[in-house]
């Protein structure tokens, strides 16, 4: 982290977390932040579900909910980026305050509730980014969400995909946010199968066949993981993102530890990696996995890969380490792979899986 970035982070800590996030996005969009550009190597170049990645470090959904900084984020060292979640209708989300720093725990709790400007506004931005030369340098994904007041949440996912799908490289079905009532109920086998069928049918109406990912929660029993693996396989899902935030609260020290919402950051690392490893075992390489949850270093990214992930995503760690973290992890991950004698990242995927079970 540069001295300038360190000072910028200290300045942002003076503000309420949600205001700080808004200011960080504004600074990024104003091109005030130094960007590393593409970071890659023969060892890191990989492919997941047909997407060619310069490196396997992705930006998780939530940082750029409304697709306002696509150009800048695509030059920030990530191998791929995901925006959203986006719902059919605009919605304000839950009452503020709804974002909390747990600095002692290197964690974050949020209960945003899918606040976003809706598919019409975001879809126009995505189309502009697609049509503008050099606007997108890495694969771009869209996290699909459902409106809180919707009477057919499953249809909401398909609706957003039909409207925005031609302007992205992949889309993620997000049934794992804890902040929209009854959303996680859609992870049940029957409901999930029906939802995914609708999304896949919507995908078939697009101009191009983009990969569809599924994002799951960490708060699952082994039996539920088995069910999800079977449903995802039957639905021909292209990849699974494991995992979203947790409702669990263990061994936390911050004064905000009992705030309602999803917990992300360091306390999530082990739990999410265990779910990842279990899912890897159940799928047996049938579907690639993207590991997310508590990644704040190359060592942790490497651990996710060795547990079964073909790529990883991060977000919360940037609250504490800045935007340059993605590039730093990519460079150090390349060195870790070389040190262990791996000529390519794919050779390391899952080698430690059983150690997590």
Say whether 132 sits in a helix, a strand or coil.
coil
Can you tell me which residue has the tokens 């400007």? 117
Rounded CA gap, 23 and 21, in Å? 5
Which stretches does DSSP call E strand in 183-317?
Answer: 212-216, 239-242, 262-265, 289-292, 311-314
User: How far apart, in Å, are the Cα atoms of 294 and each of 76, 82, 109?
Assistant: 20, 17, 13
In the set 177, 296, 297, 316, the catalytic residue is 177
Taking only Cα atoms into account, the Rg of the chain, rounded to an integer number of angstroms, comes to 19
Active site residue 176: no
Produce one character per residue of 239-265: b if its CB has 16 or more CB atoms within 10 Å, e if not: bbbbbbbbeeeeebebebbebebbbbb
- C-alpha–C-alpha distance, residues 301 and 9, integer Å: 23
| Active-site residue list | 177
């Amino acid at each position: 982290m540069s001295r300038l970035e360190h000072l910028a982070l200290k300045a942002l800590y003076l503000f309420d977390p949600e205001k700080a996030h808004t200011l960080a996005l504004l600074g990024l969009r104003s091109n005030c932040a130094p960007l590393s550009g593409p970071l890659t190597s023969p060892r890191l170049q990989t492919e997941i579900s047909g997407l060619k990645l310069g490196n396997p470090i992705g930006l998780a959904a939530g940082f750029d909910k409304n697709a306002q900084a696509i150009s800048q984020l695509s030059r920030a060292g990530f191998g791929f980026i995901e925006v959203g979640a986006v719902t059919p209708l605009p919605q304000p989300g839950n009452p503020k305050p709804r974002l909390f720093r747990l600095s002692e725990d290197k964690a974050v709790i949020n209960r945003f509730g899918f606040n976003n400007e809706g598919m019409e506004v975001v879809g126009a931005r995505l189309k502009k980014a697609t049509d503008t030369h050099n606007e997108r340098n890495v694969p771009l994904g869209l996290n699909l969400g459902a409106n809180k007041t919707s009477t057919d949440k499953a249809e909401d996912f398909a609706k957003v995909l039909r409207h925005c799908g031609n302007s992205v490289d992949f889309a993620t079905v997000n049934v794992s946010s804890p902040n929209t009532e009854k959303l996680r109920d859609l992870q049940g086998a029957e409901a999930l199968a029906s939802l995914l069928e609708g999304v896949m049918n919507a995908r078939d109406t697009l101009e191009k066949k983009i990969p569809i990912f599924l994002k799951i929660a960490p708060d699952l029993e082994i039996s539920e993981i088995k069910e999800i693996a079977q449903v995802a396989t039957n639905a021909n899902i292209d990849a699974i993102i494991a995992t979203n935030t947790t409702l669990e609260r263990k061994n936390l020290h911050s004064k905000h530890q009992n705030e309602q919402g999803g917990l992300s950051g360091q306390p999530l690392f082990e739990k999410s990696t265990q779910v990842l490893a279990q899912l890897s075992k159940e799928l047996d390489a049938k579907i690639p996995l993207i590991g997310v949850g508590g990644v704040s270093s190359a060592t942790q990214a490497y651990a996710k890969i060795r547990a079964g992930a073909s790529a990883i995503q991060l977000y919360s760690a940037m609250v504490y380490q800045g935007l340059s973290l993605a590039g730093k992890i990519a460079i150090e991950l390349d060195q870790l792979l070389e040190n262990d004698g791996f000529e390519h990242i794919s050779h390391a995927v899952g080698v430690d899986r059983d150690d997590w079970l």
